[in-house]
Structure 1
Amino acid sequence: MGVNASPNPYLKPKYGGGVGASGRVVRGSEEMGKKREREPMEELVATVKVLGDVFVRMEQMKMEMAREMETMRMEMEMKRTEMFLESQQRIVEAFAKTLSEKKKKRSKRMPSPES
Structure 2
Amino acid sequence: MAPKGPYKLVTVNKVPARAKILIGRVVNDVKEDYTIDYVANAERIEEVKGICEKEKPDVLFCASMWTKEESDEIQKIAKETVPGIKTMAIPQGLQVEKGPDAVVEWLKENWPGLVES
TM-score, structure 1 normalization: 0.21
Larger strand share, 1 or 2: 2
Which has the bigger relative contact order, CA under 8 A and spacing at least 6? 2
TM-score (norm 2): 0.21
Structure with greater helix share of residues = 1
